[in-house]
Structure formats: C-alpha cells, structure tokens
C-alpha cells in the first residue's frame, strides 16, 4: 500500500472532504527556464510539476483558481517571504498520486533547505514556454516525426510573442516529414515542457514522482470550464 508522509505535519489526510477529487490517478525563455514566480530555485532543485489548461491560449481567473485550490485542500496559507507561494494543504497527498511505497515529502520551510510548496503566478498576456534541462524535441501530432530545429522555432515564437498587439503574429511550423503546419505550442512536448498563460507549479517534485489524480483534473475542469494537463520541468 502506498503511503505518503508530509513532514510539516500539515498534510494529513481528511477523509471525505474532497472525495470525488481523490478517485483515480491518472503537465521560459530559450536562455534559461521561465522564472518561477520570484521563488528562486535552490542549487539542488529536483524539478517541478506543472499543471496548466490544455489549450495554451485559455486563461481561467487566477483568484478563482486559488480559491478552488484552497477549498479543495491542495494549498494552505501563503508563504510570507515568497510571492504567490503557498504551503501544501491537508489534501495535497490525496490529490496527487505519488510513485513508491513510502514517499516522504519535505514541506516545512523552517528547515532551511528545499521544500515542497505550490506557486500560482499571475497569468501572462500570451502563452509562455515552460522548459528546462529535461526538455526534448517535440513530435508532430500527426506523423510523430521529431522537430530537429525546435530551439530556433521556439526563439521565433518568443520574438513574435513579445511584439505588441496587432504586430504579434504566430508563424505555423511545417512538419519536415508530413508537411502539416501548426503553431509550435501545438506540437507534442510529451511531459517535458509546454506552453501556458496560467500555471499551478508544485515545487521540489522530480519528473514522474507525482501525478495529479483523475479526480483532481476533473475538479479543475469543472471549476474552470476547461480541460487541464500536466508536465515536468527541471531547472
């Protein structure tokens, strides 16, 4: 049986409080990862789990999203010295499915070391590219061919996204194999990166260490009116 322990004493399981969300288990710039909402990663940052709307252009209301996460018990109180950061809530370990038999999550900021917490940064006007050292070439959703020149394509996307209003143009990328054209954000980045305007960042989660439960994803979809996905980024 899987056991997940939250070491700050605030992550205990409260049966029945978000029962539906517990059922089942099952996602930056070219010169560096997207800033993590002014929460500086430590030198031994293991990674982060990112949840975002499946459609990169969709942007639910951030304040409403924070209320949803708080009511569901996914987050607790704000962390005073960190912008847009929250301690994990009492239902955190029920809304994420952790890999392993006895997972221990450090979530106490008083230890002075890296600790697991949640960040919900302000929404951006345009989709942002979230990537890290674990990001690899995306695949064409149609023929599954890899895009070998993806760094150049992303750079072009970012240059376009930085243009004001009417001057902003998103160029479609032609697949070198099948020829189908689609925006770079629509390519399949697997669980190794992606684009989004609004994010839920779970810090100090190694890629694949935890996944949102199907119930949690359904809860987000019902509350925001859009489907959600998840992926991982390592600085």
Each domain of the chain, given as residue ranges in start order, spans 18-58+74-126+189-233, 136-186
Give this prediction's pTM: 0.77
In degrees, rounded to 5, the angle at the alpha carbon of residue 213 between the alpha carbons of residues 111 and 119 is 40
Paired tokens of 94: 């029920």
Contact partners, residue 68, CB within 8 Å, separation at least 6: 219, 220, 223, 224
d(CA 54, CA 184): 14
Paired tokens of 16: 């029945």
Q: What is the pLDDT of residue 154?
A: 85
Q: Is the separation of the CB atoms in 183 and 223 below 8 Å?
A: no
| H or E, element range at 153 | helix 150-161
List the chain pLDDT tens, one digit each, 235 residues.
344 445 554 443 333 333 333 333 333 333 333 444 434 344 566 899 999 999 999 999 999 999 999 999 999 999 988 889 999 999 999 999 988 666 667 777 766 778 899 999 999 988 888 988 899 999 999 999 999 998 888 888 778 766 665 445 567 899 999 999 988 888 999 999 999 999 999 999 999 999 999 999 999 999 999 999 999 999 8
């Amino acid at each position: 049986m899987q056991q997940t322990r939250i070491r700050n004493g605030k992550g205990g399981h409260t049966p029945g409080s978000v029962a539906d969300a517990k059922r089942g288990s099952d996602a930056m710039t070219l010169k560096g990862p997207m800033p993590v909402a002014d929460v500086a990663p430590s030198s031994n940052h293991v990674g982060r789990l990112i949840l975002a709307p499946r459609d990169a252009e969709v942007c639910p209301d951030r304040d409403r999203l924070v209320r949803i996460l708080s009511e569901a018990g996914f987050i607790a109180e704000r962390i005073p010295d960190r912008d847009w950061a929250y301690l994990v809530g009492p239902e955190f370990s029920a809304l994420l499915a952790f890999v392993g038999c006895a997972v221990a999550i450090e979530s106490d900021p008083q230890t002075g070391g890296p600790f697991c917490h949640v960040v919900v940064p302000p929404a951006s006007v345009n989709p942002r590219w979230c990537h890290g050292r674990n990001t690899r070439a995306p695949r064409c959703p149609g023929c599954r061919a890899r895009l070998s020149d993806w760094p150049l394509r992303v750079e072009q996307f970012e240059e376009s996204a930085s243009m004001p209003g009417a001057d902003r143009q998103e160029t479609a990328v032609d697949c070198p194999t099948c020829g189908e054209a689609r925006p770079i954000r629509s390519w399949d980045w697997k669980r190794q990166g992606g684009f989004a305007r609004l994010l839920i960042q779970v810090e100090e989660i190694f890629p694949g260490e935890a996944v949102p439960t199907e119930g949690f994803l359904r809860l987000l979809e019902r509350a925001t009116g859009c489907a959600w996905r998840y992926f991982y980024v390592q600085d």
